[in-house]
A and B are shown apart, each in its own frame.
Chain A
Amino acid sequence: MINLHTIRGREQRTAWVLLLPALILLLFVFAYPIGRAFWLSLFTKNLGTELQPVFSGLYNYVRMAGDGRFWQTFWTTTVFTTSSVVLELLLGMGIALVLNQKFLGRNFVRTTAILPWALPTALIGLAWAWIFNDQFGVVNDLLRRIGIISTGINWLGDPGLAMLAVILADVWKTTPFISILLLAGLQSISPDLYEAHSIDGAKPWQNFTRITLPLLMPQILIAVLFRFAQAFGIFDLIAVMTGGGPGGATEVVSLYIYSTVMRYLDFGYGAALVVVTFLLLIFAVAIASFFLSRSRAKTSRA
Chain B
Amino acid sequence: MTTLTHPPAERPSTPTPPRRGKFPVKKVFLPLAVVLVVLFCLAPALWQLLTSVKVNEDISAVPTVYFPTRYTLSHYIELFVRRPFWRYILNSAFVSVTSTAISLAIGAPAAYALARLRPWGGKVILASILIVTLFPGILLFLGLLEIIQALHLGNNYLALIIPYTAINLPLTILVLRSFFEQLPKDLEDAAKVDGYNTWQMLLQILLPMTLPALVTTGILTFIFAWNEFIFALTFITRDEMKTIPVAAAQIGGASVFEIPYGPIAAATVLGTLPLVLLVLFFQRKIVQGLTAGAVKG
Contacts and interface: CB of A to CB of B under 8 A. Distances in A.
A258 B138 contact: yes
Contact of A135 (B62, B138, B139): B62
Given A33-B143, A181-B290, A226 B6 contact: no
Interface in B59-84: 59-64
Interface residues of B, number: 102
A155 interface: no
Contacts of A197: 3
Interface range for A: 35 or more
A126 B249 contact: yes
A274 interface: yes
A36 interface: yes
B37 A235 contact: no
B45 A32 contact: no
A271 to B, nearest CB: 6
A122 B245 contact: yes
Given A122-B246, A127-B48, A277-B139, A22 B41 contact: no
A109 to B, nearest CB: 6
Contact of A233 (B114, B137, B169, B248): B137
Contact of A15 (B113, B170, B294): B113
A200 B131 contact: no
B42 A115 contact: yes
B215 interface: no
13 contacts: A12-B119, A19-B113, A35-B143, A99-B37, A111-B279, A111-B283, A112-B38, A115-B42, A119-B275, A177-B290, A184-B291, A222-B294, A229-B136
Given A127-B47, A181-B295, A285-B134, 19 more contacts: A11-B117, A16-B113, A28-B166, A98-B30, A98-B33, A107-B283, A115-B41, A115-B42, A116-B45, A118-B275, A122-B245, A126-B48, A141-B64, A184-B287, A200-B3, A200-B6, A226-B133, A230-B134, A257-B138
